[in-house]
Amino acid sequence: MIITFQTDASETQARAAASEAERSGLKAYVRFSGGRWAVAIVGAGRVRPGGADRLNERLAALPGVASITADQQAFVLASRAFVPETTSFSLSDTPDGVRVGGSRLLLIAGPCSVEDRSQLLETALAVKEAGAHALRGGAFKPRTSPYSFQGLGEAGLEMLAEARQLTGLPIVTEVMTPEDLPLVARYADVLQIGARNMQNSPLLHAAGASQKPVLLKRGMSATLEEMLFAAEYILSHDNFRVMVCERGIRTFENSLTRNTTDINAVPVLKSISHLPVMLDPSHSTGSWEYVTAIARAAVAAGADGLIVEVHPHPEQALSDGAQSLKPERFAELVRQVSGIANWMERTV
């Protein structure tokens, strides 16, 4: 249920409505966006929805209320109906840090996996030089086979922290289980939740509770609604620093490309949700030679940012070599993407 207030209504009035709902055992969220306050009211998770004792009528009668809408089937907190303006936030704990969701495109780049100190630092310096705003790199790697490289764990996180020290770039890195989250959160600026874990609800809850920014990747066969419901798990902890990321879906077309970039996802997500929308052209194509064209397309479609795999020596990469750009090719990607962004009235 979403209660929107008149433009001259006050925060106090909105919070009064929230309290009213919470007295009925429900949970309420208060946001100011699009020039008006709004309150979202949702059921409380593990308990069965009880009778709301004519709550609707009491809420409708409160001062300042403009309208009340209820759609039991839909996501609420992630919707534009609740928050009309695109959410913009800093990746760090300071408000003047690198931001996403505003007029500047967010470029995240780096290796698939942290493999060793020199590989990581070399890549970090190169992507910084090329224009990236944040560094990606996996220390915990979800792999299809237990015999594939599984990441360096905490040693990898330490290297990421050193790379941040060296370059000033905030760190985006994956967390795979609630148990590891406190450790990863000590090092990371942004927690990445990977495609395989998009519906790992304990992990989503833990990421929400951490109050860290989250980059949530779409599951390889998740619908866009399911991704927004997954975001809703995080948002339900009043952690609104969530960006969602299209990374290609699994379809029958899987010989010439690894996945199918669902470019429709960009305008659809922008239309129905206020969360910033990222696109990962490395996974969504699986082949470095198509990455730049798809990066351009993503920006032209309206994406708020890109996350790109870069490796100084792709042919030696322990994972995802075929889809990793060399640093000089990434620099060219940034140049091309800037031109498109410029036309879209965005900076890079």
Tell me how far apart the alpha carbons of residues 192 and 266 are, in angstroms, rounded to a whole number: 19
State phi, psi for 139 to the nearest 5 degrees.
-100, -30
List the interface residues with a second copy, window 307-346 (CB under 8 A). Answer: 318, 339-340, 342-343
List the interface residues with a second copy, window 8-37 (CB under 8 A). Answer: none
Neighbouring C-alpha atoms within 13 Å toward the C-beta of 226: 14
List the interface residues with a second copy, window 50-79 (CB under 8 A). Answer: 75
Task: Give the number of other CB atoms < 10 A from CB of residue 25.
Answer: 14
Write the burial class of residue 124 (CB in 10 Å: 0-12 exposed, 13-18 middle, 19+ buried). Answer: buried
Q: Which region, judged by CB under 8 A, interacts with a second copy, from 12-20, 56-64, 93-101, 198-206? A: 198-206
Tell me how far apart the alpha carbons of residues 50 and 72 are, in angstroms, rounded to a whole number: 14
Q: Tell me whether residue 5 or residue 290 sits nearer to a second copy (CB atom).
A: 290
Of the residues 245, 294, 310, 334, which one makes contact with a second copy according to CB under 8 A: 294
Please state the three-class secondary structure of 155-187 as a single string.
HHHHHHHHHHHHHCCCEEEECCCHHHHHHHHHH
Neighbouring C-alpha atoms within 13 Å toward the C-beta of 99: 12
Of the residues 20, 174, 189, 232, which one makes contact with a second copy according to CB under 8 A: 232
Q: Tell me whether residue 64 or residue 151 sits nearer to a second copy (CB atom).
A: 151
**DSSP 8-state assignment for residue 273:** B
- Strand 214-217 with 242-246, pairing: parallel
List the interface residues with a second copy, window 203-222 (CB under 8 A). Answer: 203-204, 219-221
Of the residues 8, 35, 46, 96, which one makes contact with a second copy according to CB under 8 A: 46
Of the residues 97, 102, 302, 321, which one makes contact with a second copy according to CB under 8 A: 302
Of the residues 25, 34, 43, 321, which one makes contact with a second copy according to CB under 8 A: 43
List the interface residues with a second copy, window 90-129 (CB under 8 A). Answer: none
Q: Tell me whether residue 180 or residue 189 sits nearer to a second copy (CB atom).
A: 180
List the interface residues with a second copy, window 135-194 (CB under 8 A). Answer: 142-147, 149-153, 176-180
Structure tokens at 72: 């039991």
Phi-psi label, residue 21: left if phi above 0, alpha if psi -120 to 50, beta otherwise: alpha
Of the residues 200, 273, 323, 324, which one makes contact with a second copy according to CB under 8 A: 200
Q: Tell me whether residue 92 or residue 239 sits nearer to a second copy (CB atom).
A: 239
Terminal-to-terminal C-alpha distance of the chain: 37
Of the residues 15, 268, 321, 322, which one makes contact with a second copy according to CB under 8 A: 268
Question: Between the CA atoms of 213, 219, 220 and 222, what dihedral angle is there, to the nearest 10 degrees?
Answer: -130
301 binds a second copy (CB under 8 A): yes
Q: Tell me whether residue 32 or residue 343 sits nearer to a second copy (CB atom).
A: 343
Least Å distance, CB 287 to a second copy, is 8
Q: Which region, judged by CB under 8 A, interacts with a second copy, from 40-48, 82-90, 125-133, 157-165? A: 40-48
Q: Are 340 and 300 in contact (CB under 8 A)?
A: yes
